[in-house]
Amino acid sequence: YQRRGHGELTCELLKMVQSKPLVCLTPSERLYLLWKAYEKALDRRPISTKTATSAALSLLGDLVSQRLLEKKSKLDVNRMLKFALFSALYAPVMHFWYILLDKLFPATSIWRKMLMDQILFDPLSYALFYAYMALVNGETAQWADHIRENLLPTLRVSWRVWPIAQIINFKYVPSNLQVPFVNALGFCWNVYLSSKVSSS
C-alpha cells in the first residue's frame, strides 16, 4: 500500500467526476466542478475573476438590503449598479494590497498583517466609499460631509467584526482565495453598508 497525497486524490476525484455525463452528476458533484472551474479562473485571470466576484456579491447585498431591510416594493437598480461598480473598482486594489502585505510581513506575522489592514487600509477604503457614493449620487459638494458623518460610526462597527475575520483569512485561507473569502463574508457587510447609505 502506497499512501497518496491530498493533491493526487483531488486530481483523481476531479477526473472521476469529469468522466460522467453532466445529467448524471449529483448536486454535490456539480458544485465541486463549479468550484474547480472557479479556482482555475482564479489561477488564470485572478484580477478579473475577483472583480466579477466582488461586483456580483455587492449587487446581491444591496438587493437584500432593499428587499429585507428597507422593504422596498420596487428595486432601485441604479443604486445596485453603483454598489457593484465600486466593488468592481475596489477588488483589484484589494488584490494588490494583499500581495503587498505578503511581501512586507512573513506568513507568521498574522497580527501585524491584520493591524495594518484594519488601521491603515480600512479607514481609507471607507472614506473612498462614502466619497464615491456622494459623487455618483450628485452630491459632489457634500463628499467631505459624508465622510465626516459616516466614517467613525462605520469603523466602530467594522472593528467588531473584521479583525477576527482577517485573522482567520491570513492564517488559514490560501493567498489566491483571500479576496474571494473577504467578498463572501462581505456579503453581509454590504447589506449593512447599503442600509447605511440609504439612511444617510
Using CA atoms, how far apart are residues 196 and 56, in angstroms rounded to an integer?
19
Using CA atoms, how far apart are residues 44 and 175, in angstroms rounded to an integer?
14
The amino acid at 59 = L
The answer on pLDDT for 2 being more than 50 is no
135-180: pLDDT as tens digits: 999 998 899 999 999 999 999 999 999 999 999 999 999 988 999 9
> Could you report how far apart the first and last alpha carbons of the chain are, in Å?
65
The answer on pLDDT for 22 being more than 60 is no
Listed in sequence order, the DSSP H helices in 107-177 are: 110-116, 122-136, 143-172
pLDDT at 20: 59
Which pTM value belongs to this model? 0.80
Query: 114 and 158 in contact (C-beta within 8 Å)?
Result: no
- CB 11: neighbour CB atoms within 10 A? 12
pLDDT at 162: 95
pLDDT at 108: 82
Q: Which residues contact 196 (CB under 8 A, 6 or more apart)?
A: 150, 153, 154
More confident residue, 184 or 92: 92
pLDDT at 160: 93
104-143: pLDDT as tens digits: 998 789 999 999 999 999 999 999 999 999 999 999 889 9
